[in-house]
Structure 1
């Protein structure tokens, strides 16, 4: 079903161009609220819009203004990180008619011990569909779930690129990914309903603090139907459905080609000195 309106106001009061968004993610299916439609749109978004934080790496920072995000990810065909990705996806879902609630999560991915606390720096969505609540995330880089996950279920849930489960914690629910026969924690979603200012603070920290991983390294990722494509520094990784992994080390020219061919990102002149330094460090 093609939308009859080109734009409409979402819950934040900003107008949203649903036709341009659907064209950007390559979605031409029905826009009626359903779990199947949610699943299809999430897969299309993740495959089309890469996870990236190049603006953070080069010191430009990240704006949470809805119009700026839409212009960057939709019209300028850039990628973004969690606040941008899930912010954009939330507005698309609200336009369609889904009930959406944002949540803040504490990232655990990266080998942090159980007795150590990372800042609350990740944004996810809780979405109502088919009489159930679903955890939806299009902005967690190399391990992003490729389908909605039943929020209240503790059993393993299959997606085309891995099994996930949600386990109860003292503060909310912990998302885990099955890897090598065990379960690895991605993040803990907090039950507390956040305010807009909470995301402003966590985005400011993530985009400016020297200890933010995005200030120190190039991280770009995209999940297609059959594989995850991950660029970390100057190393390009392809991880298939069957968990076969192939890695390539890139020079500066190869890095620019990979950004363009695998992630749809044309290297801007102001990026080049930062990318060159990154290759020299690798």
Structure 2
């Protein structure tokens, strides 16, 4: 297997660090891992705009750099975590891919379509995930039974279940609930190409039927699902309102740091009036 299965050798590391607001990065230790994890989340939004605009979601490192770093856009789990994996490889971390089954509110079984990362640092393995959106981790979490671990007003835990499955859980007002179940197998980029095809094209995927935009930073989490804009702060306060088509472009810019050109903005407003 290549020394850089996630193409870290092809990454423009300086451009990435500049994009997330870091002049430099330290060695492969837990402090550096936590710093990059937080900075990535604050800089890059979670979003599915390319799908709604009728364009393919490309996962090669050149395309990821061009979209997220150069064009200052965001993406969803495969884009975020594949880019982060390349960064961590380049910095000397031991990193491997994980795949997870996201829990459904209705109790049904979802396909395995979520990507996360395992990373070794400081003598232990960590769960890293900058691509889950508004309910996800702010910091890396020990990849072993642990919890509750507080993170910026929320609590998370990892629980081990049958057949080597590990479940990421979060504490909500009504009690603990599962976010996703991680299988024991280590994954490679080719596996995510198959998952990405389903997620970006299948009629049953939530990413093809409505607008999903989220951004996580310390103290505040923002989400735009369909027309509903929600801002939740770590002190428990919350704001929510509907976003009209005429203000969508400005909301994407001011709340999620997404700049669209005139053509894409017009297309997105038209598509969202149909699918949301």
How far is the alpha carbon of 1:192 from its aligned partner? 1.2
Give the Cα separation in 2 of the matches to 1:259 and 1:136.
26
How far is the alpha carbon of 1:280 from its aligned partner? 6.3
For 1:184, which of 171, 177, 189 is the aligned residue?
A: 177
Q: Deviations over 1:196-221 (max 9, x none)?
A: 33211110000000111110011111
Q: Which runs of 5+ in 2 are unaligned?
A: none
Give the Cα separation in 2 of the matches to 1:50 and 1:264.
7
How many correspondences in the alignment? Answer: 271
For 1:80, which of 68, 75, 86 is the aligned residue?
A: 75
For 2:142, which of 143, 147, 150 is the aligned residue?
A: 150
Q: Deviations over 1:51-78 (max 9, x none)?
A: 0111112221211111101111011111
1:12–1:196: structure 2 CA closer, same or farther, 3 Å change rule? closer
**Is residue 2:79 matched to residue 1:99?**
no
1:280–1:205: structure 2 CA closer, same or farther, 3 Å change rule? closer
SS at match of 1:174: strand
Give the Cα separation in 1 of the matches to 2:148 and 2:26.
28
Is the CA contact 1:161–1:227 (under 8 Å) kept in the aligned structure 2?
no
Q: Which residue of 1 aligns with 2:160?
A: 168
1:196–1:15: structure 2 CA closer, same or farther, 3 Å change rule? closer
1:40–1:196: structure 2 CA closer, same or farther, 3 Å change rule? closer
Q: Which runs of 5+ in 1 are unaligned?
A: 1-8
Q: What is the TM-score of this pair, normalised by structure 2? A: 0.93
SS at match of 2:196: helix
For 1:134, which of 109, 123, 126 is the aligned residue?
A: 126
For 2:272, which of 237, 259, 278 is the aligned residue?
A: 278
How far is the alpha carbon of 1:100 from its aligned partner? 0.2
For 1:68, which of 58, 63, 70 is the aligned residue?
A: 63
